[in-house]
């Protein structure tokens, strides 16, 4: 959209500039000059570029020469910054971060770096990852922000950190993690491929989320100046798509501990708000994938601290709702929840077998015990489709119970015992999802 009568010209630049990191050269051509860079069959950058003018010139050589002169000056600047940055190890730049503000209530980027070191080690321990590599990557991950290259090319933060770490002979895993910890940058961006990269990406985002909720900077309406929605979605995507089974509540608590250790305690309310904010991102993510809102709500009601586990439950429930007994069980669960909610009596936990007088309630009690034992192994191995199929087997005995038993009996001990029985049945279903929230008729859902 920059020209109406495009005319392409091929220009060249000094091959000596190819010693500068490729991304910086491409940024100079593409972003600064609106040129096309050129690569060979193996993907290597060539010392040529394509520029597009708005008219077919009668002196193309002069146009080419003018563009080459401008580009060579740009690339000379990039080379100067690169050579200057190489004179100082990345490790020596960490202290400079103390002069770069992260947030007025949360301190400098140096303060954030120290928190990331602690939090990364904690996450690495949980995942049984290499703590030393993760701590080193966390120590260096923000240091390239005070380099000349990133000052000139802000979009290359992390990328320049990788190059400089490689130049300093840091472990390859550390250099890679420095670049990967910024991933994903947007909704459809790739995710960190290495374990240290994932650890650091999670630590960075959780630290920002907890800290900014502590500082009262939570998003309001459409305003999200710190990109917290994007950060929360990034956390969820990493945990689910890379099959990292971590607990959001534990991550938030670990991060809160790092703030408390530096004299900045996080209130219980701020932690709750942060956790709720992260979990609410499930809706946007899975609605975009085609899952129905009632399916998402049903699984959220059963607890969703572990995103990977949430993903498995939701996919199992989305398929289960097409089971022949699903609609009947959902209706029965709604009835149970309504009875329990409207009851003025407290619901006990222990059932009194001597008060089970009706054959239908005796059958239900026995079925609950048998089903609980049967689904426990399936739930332990996260085989939720199998667990839901087992629960579906309760339908006949549940239907019979409601046909033959008066729950709200005049006899108060008898009524209390039957309410306890229903409470046990409700809890059994809630081990996977609150299927009482499933709406009828069925709605199409993603798989």
pTM: 0.88
pLDDT for the residue 445: 44
**Residue 343's pLDDT is what?**
78
Give pLDDT, residue 447. Answer: 40
| Tokens at 233, concatenated | 């979605």
| pLDDT for 58 | 86
pLDDT given at position 442: 44
3 state SS of 290:
coil
In this structure, what DSSP letter does residue 303 have? -
Q: What is the DSSP letter of 194?
A: S
Give residue 296's pLDDT: 95
- Residues (pLDDT < 70) of the chain are 440-447
Distance between CA 174 and CA 168 in Å, rounded?
11
What is the reported pLDDT for 46? 97
Question: How many other C-beta atoms lie within 10 A of the C-beta of residue 208?
Answer: 21
Structure tokens at 33: 């000059």
**364 close to 436: Cβ distance less than 8 angstroms:** no
Going from the C-alpha of 176 to that of each of 18, 114, 171, the distances in angstroms are: 21, 20, 9
């Amino acid at each position: 959209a920059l020209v109406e009568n495009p005319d392409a010209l091929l220009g060249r630049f000094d091959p000596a500039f190819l010693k500068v990191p490729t991304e910086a050269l491409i940024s100079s051509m593409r972003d600064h000059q609106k040129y096309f860079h050129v690569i060979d069959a193996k993907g290597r950058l060539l010392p040529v570029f394509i520029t597009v003018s708005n008219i077919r010139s009668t002196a193309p050589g002069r146009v080419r020469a003018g563009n080459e002169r401008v580009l060579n000056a740009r690339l000379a600047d990039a080379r100067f910054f690169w050579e200057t940055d190489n004179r100082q190890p990345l490790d020596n730049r960490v202290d400079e971060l103390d002069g770069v503000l992260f947030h007025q209530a949360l301190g400098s980027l140096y303060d954030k770096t120290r928190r990331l070191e602690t939090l990364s080690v904690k996450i690495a321990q949980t995942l049984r990852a290499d703590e030393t590599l993760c701590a080193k990557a966390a120590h260096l991950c923000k240091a390239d922000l005070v380099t000349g290259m990133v000052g000139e090319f802000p979009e290359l933060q992390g990328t320049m950190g990788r190059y400089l770490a490689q130049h300093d002979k840091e472990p390859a895993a550390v250099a890679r993690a420095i670049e990967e910890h910024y991933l994903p940058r947007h909704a459809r961006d790739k995710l960190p491929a290495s374990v240290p990269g994932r650890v650091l990406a999670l630590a960075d985002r959780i630290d920002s989320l907890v800290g900014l909720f502590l500082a009262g900077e939570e998003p309001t309406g459409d305003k999200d100046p710190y990109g917290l929605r994007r950060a929360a979605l990034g956390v969820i995507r990493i945990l689910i798509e890379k099959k990292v089974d971590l607990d959001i509540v534990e991550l938030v608590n670990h991060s809160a501990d790092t703030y408390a250790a530096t004299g900045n305690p996080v209130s219980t309310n701020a932690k709750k708000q942060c956790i709720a904010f992260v979990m609410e991102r499930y809706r946007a993510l899975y609605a975009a994938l085609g899952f129905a809102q009632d399916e998402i709500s049903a699984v959220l009601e059963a607890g969703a601290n572990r995103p990977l586990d949430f993903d498995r439950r939701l996919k199992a429930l989305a398929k289960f709702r097409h089971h022949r007994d699903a609609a009947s069980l959902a209706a029965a669960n709604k009835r149970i929840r309504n009875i329990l909610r409207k009851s003025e009596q407290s619901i006990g936990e222990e059932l009194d077998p001597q008060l089970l007088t009706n054959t239908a309630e005796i059958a239900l009690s026995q079925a609950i015990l048998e089903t609980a034992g049967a689904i426990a192994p399936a739930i332990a191995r996260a085989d939720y489709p199998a667990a839901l199929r087992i629960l579906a087997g309760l339908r006949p005995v549940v239907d019979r119970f409601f046909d033959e038993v008066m729950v709200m009996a005049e006899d108060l001990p008898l009524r209390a015992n039957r309410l306890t029985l229903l409470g046990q049945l409700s809890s059994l279903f809630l081990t996977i999802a609150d299927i009482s929230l499933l709406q009828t008729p069925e709605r199409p859902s993603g798989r």
